[in-house]
Every structure is written in structure tokens, then in C-alpha cells.
Amino acid sequence: MLRAVLFILLLLLIAPPPRTAAAADTAPSGKTDRSPAPGHGDPYAMVFEGLAVVVIAASVGRWAARRLSQAPVLGELVAGILAGVILYHVGNPAIVILRHAAILSKAETTAMAENVSWEKAVHSALADSAIRGEEAEKISGVALRGNYPAYENLYRSMLLFSSLGVVLLLFMVGLESSLEGMRRVAGNSLGVASLGVIVPFALGFAATILLLPRGTDPNVPVFVGSTLCATSIGITARVFRDTGAIETGEARIVLAAAVLDDILGLIVLAVVTGVVTSGAVELPAVGWITLKAVLFLGLVILFGSFLVKRTIRYFTRIDPSQVKLLYPFALLMILAAAADAVGLASIVGAFAAGLIINDEYFGDIPAPAGGTGSVESIIAPIEGVFAPVFFVLMGMQVDPGSMADPGTLLTALALAVAAVAGKVAASLAVRKGTDRLIVGIGMVPRGEVGLIFAGIGKGIGVLDDRMFSVVVTVVLLTTLVTPPFLAWAIRRKERRERSRAI
């Protein structure tokens, strides 16, 4: 443990400290014109430093998790939480921006759209929020300092790497899965996905009504319920990969159900926001949203492999030495963006890209610069660098202080129980012969999808600051609770199978 502490101290030493701020003052867009000291002033030097810190923190987190027999991803999350708490405490501007991104982005929108000064916009965004006192001063201090653009650049860059990391992760998961395997579990998955939307909604709705005082806006339980419908597949996919269980039937069911859940979630969100904002379900809009998403996935599944086979041939002629690296990478980027364009999560597109690519399509093209030559082994290093950024940053965004209020924490705990129970119950839709517990726990994390729901709820005024904190805490709990339990459930199943084999 002493070494872990030493490492955290080392991390703090190399973490971009506020005192480098002066040097970075003019960095944001490569402008060196008012820089007092000569130098190249790479505007991304601070980003390189930040990336190194996150990569090392992730390594240390995985090491600690291994020592404690925990899932590596939990180690990354906890490393992120610890680093975040320490850096926030010392007032690291990048972490302050990361934690209060919603307020600062609101200030930015105001400054641009309403044509007020940045200072006014920051103060008005802070006044609109529930944050007061020292905390508010910390935020405005960071936002109104001259080096704010440099730190905002760092924050955005790290989020970009995180986004890149999670699509790369889901792409790898797609590569390791097969379209055929997905088709086989389609029925089971549809059941899990549907129950996984209905049961958590019902439980969340009921729990909110019971927990909140009478006379609360009836839209609140509706919104809380729908937040609990979401499934975020990042954490689960990572645990399946780390435990080598990605090609089991359970993993396939969870993955397919998560994709279907993304469509169902879209529909729920469209219906709920329609009801809340205009008091009615706008059927044409809901229909169009559903159609786009279904069409995208349908086309990719039906024609994806065929198109990939044909276009690989062209790309091979154009760039023979790099085709095994660049074709999959470009396809991943395009499908991730396309999924986002039709309203699905970019990770759903990334997963689809991995599904429809097959090593055999490349014929006997040698891999660039040695290597075993599989697409997986070529993309692996890129994923290896960026995927941990996603989990460390997820940890860094956690504010343990939000759980300090006992009332909030209690409400959150009750809802978290409903959230877990709802998804575990959904696994009853799975036919016999499958380990239901693995499927159920695999569906538990709400992750960023839940946060997006909560953000919309807050944006349209349904969730107040307290309920927003509650929902964020629920998302957090479901995320943190999954890795150890899922790893345990997978080990349990393996033990059972082994003892049956004897």
C-alpha cells in the first residue's frame, strides 16, 4: 500500500499543476504572439501531460485491483475517483471544469447566443445553479482566469480521448463477437431488453412516488423511472473481455439486449419528453425516431458484411500496406458517427462496425510492421491507450461530496436497489441453460446513458438539483457495483461448470 501512496504522490507531481498556468496562458489555439518567453508553445503539451497522468493512473488502478482480486475496470474507476478528489481539492482547473462542465457550457452558450460578456455569463450560470459560497467562487475563479481556455482545451481533449476509447472498446467487443452469434440470441435478448425497460421503469416510478412527499410533480417519477431503463454497456463489455467471457452465450445476450435497449431507450425518452413538454405523445416524431434507428441497424446487419467485403477490395488497392489498420479504423469512425446521427449511441455504431468486419475479408494481406496480422491485434494498442481514459475520466467525474447528504443518499440507495432489482428481474426472460444472474448483473450499469437522461430531465425542469443528484448517485452506484458482482457471477458459473465436468 505504501507504494500505491507513493505513486499517487508521483501522479500529483506530474499532474498539470496550477502553477504551470502562466506558461500555458497563451496556449489554447497555438497563439504565441503574446507569449513572453520564446518557445514553440505546443498548445497540446499540457494534453500530453494529462494523457500520461491518466494512463499511469489507470495502470496503478489495475494493479491495485489485481492485488485485491477485483475487476481491473473497478481499479481504473477508483483510481479516477481518488485522483479526481485529490486534484479537485487542490483546485486543479481541469478537474473543476470537468466536474462543472454543465454550468460552464451553459455560460458559454449564454455568452455566444445572448451576446453578453464572459464574466456576466459565468455569474448568471452560477446564479441559476444551486452552487453557492466557496464552491461557486472556485468555479468562477477557474472560469475567469486568463488560462481558462488552456484548461478547457485540456478538459475537452481528455473527453475526446475518452470518447475515442469507449468506441474502440465496443469495436473490439464487436470484433470478438459474431453476427451469427448475435442472431441466435435475438429472441432471448429482445425479452431481456423489453423486461429490462418495463420492470425498472415500474420499480423506479413506484419507489419515487413512495419516497417523495405527496404533491410532487407527477412528471418526476416518470422521469426517474425512465432514467432507470437505460443500459450502459461499456463497463459490462469491459468485464466480459477482462474475464475472457466475451464469447459466452450470456455475454452475447447482454450485448444484443444493450443494443436493443438503446433503441427502446430512445423511444422511452421521446415519449416521456413529449409527455412532459407538450402533454401528449407525439406519435409521428416517436415513429420517425424509431424508424431511423431500426433502419440504421437493419441496414448494417443485412448489408454491412457484403458492403465491407466489396469496399475492402478497393481500399486494398489504394493502400495495401495499411489497409488492415486504416479500413477498420475508418469504418469504426464512420459507423460511430452515423449511429450518433440517427440518434443512437455512438458505441452502438462502433459495436456494429466490429461485428461486420471479419479477418477473412482481407484475404492474405500481411499486417503492417509485423504482428500476428489479425485486425484485433492491430487495433489493440490504440484501444489499450485510450479505453482506460474513459474509465478513469468516469471516475474523475464522481463527486463523493454529493453523497454526503443523508437524505439524498438514502433516496439514492432505495432507487439503486430498484435499479438493480429491475434489471436482474429482466433476466427472467432468458430461456433455461443460461446463467440468469450474469445476464441480470450485466444489464445493471446505467453509466453515461443514465446521466444523459438525467441531464435532459434537469434541462426541461422536471428534476430539481436534489433529484438530479439522486439520479447521478444511482447511476454511480450501479456502475461501481457491477464489476465485482459480475466478475463474481462469472467465476461462480465457471466453478459450477468445472465441478459438473468432474
Is there binding between residue 270 and a copy of itself (CB under 8 A)? yes
CA distances from 69 to 244, 294, 364 (A): 16, 41, 41
Q: Looking at beta carbons only, is 109 or 303 nearer to a copy of itself?
A: 109
Contact status: 326 vs a copy of itself (CB under 8 A): yes
**Look-up: residue for cell 465457471?**
494
Output 115 or 499, the one with its CB closest to a copy of itself.
115
Selected range binding a copy of itself among 130-138, 334-342, 408-416, 439-447, rule: CB under 8 A: 334-342
Q: Exposure of 92 by Cβ count < 10 A (0-12 exposed, 13-18 middle, 19+ buried)?
A: buried
Query: Which CB, 185 or 487, lies closer to a copy of itself?
Result: 487
Least Å distance, CB 43 to a copy of itself, is: 7
Q: Is 459 in the site for a copy of itself (CB under 8 A)?
A: yes
For a copy of itself, which is the closer residue by CB, 418 or 471? 471
Find the binding residues for a copy of itself in span 193-222 (CB under 8 A).
none
Residue 279 in contact with a copy of itself, rule: CB under 8 A:
no
Q: What is the DSSP string of 12-53?
A: HHHS--GGGHHHHTT-TTS--TT-SS-S---TTHHHHHHHHH
DSSP state, residue 400: G
Interacting residues with a copy of itself between 66 and 105 (CB under 8 A): 101-102, 104-105
Query: Nine-digit cell at 385?
Result: 491507450
Cell readout for 447 is 453509466
Number of amino acids touching a copy of itself (CB under 8 A): 109
Q: How far is the CB of 204 from a copy of itself (least distance, A)?
A: 18
Q: Distance between CA atoms of 502 and 498, rounded to whole angstroms? A: 6
Of 311 and 417, the one with the shorter C-beta distance to a copy of itself is 311
Do you know the residue count of the chain? 502
Q: Convert residues 230-269 into a mask of x (bound to a copy of itself by CB under 8 A) and - (unbound).
A: ------------------------------------x--x
Phi, psi for residue 38 in degrees, rounded to 5: -70, 160
CB 149 within 8 A of CB 28: yes
Verify binding: residue 157, a copy of itself, rule CB under 8 A. yes
Of 362-401, which residues contact a copy of itself (CB under 8 A)?
Answer: 368-372, 374, 376-382, 384-385
Nearer to a copy of itself, 436 or 446 (CB): 446
Least distance from C-beta 222 to a copy of itself, angstroms?
A: 15
Binding residue for a copy of itself, selected from 458, 474, 478, 480, defined by CB under 8 A: 458
Q: Which residues of 409-419 are buried (b: 16+ CB within 10 A; e: fewer)?
A: bebbebbbebb
Q: Which of residues 16-55 bind a copy of itself (CB under 8 A)?
A: 20, 23, 26, 28-35, 37-49, 51-52, 55
State which of residues 455, 464, 488, 493 lies at the interface with a copy of itself (CB under 8 A). 455
Q: How far apart are CA 429 and CA 193, in angstroms?
A: 9
Burial of 497 (0-12, 13-18, 19+ CB in 10 A): exposed
Binding-site member from 140, 236, 243, 273 for a copy of itself (CB under 8 A): 273
Q: Which of residues 110-129 bind a copy of itself (CB under 8 A)?
A: 111-113, 115-120
Helix (H) and strand (E) counts in the chain = 22, 0
Site for a copy of itself in 162-191 (CB under 8 A): 163-164, 167
**Angular region, 472: left φ>0, alpha ψ -120 to 50, beta rest:** alpha
* Contact stretch for a copy of itself (CB under 8 A) within 76-84, 108-116, 252-260, 418-426: 108-116
User: Which listed residue (153, 177, 411, 469) binds a copy of itself by CB under 8 A?
Assistant: 153
**For the chain, what percentages of helix, strand and coil (3-state, to nearest 5) are there?**
80, 0, 20
Say which DSSP state 498 is in: H
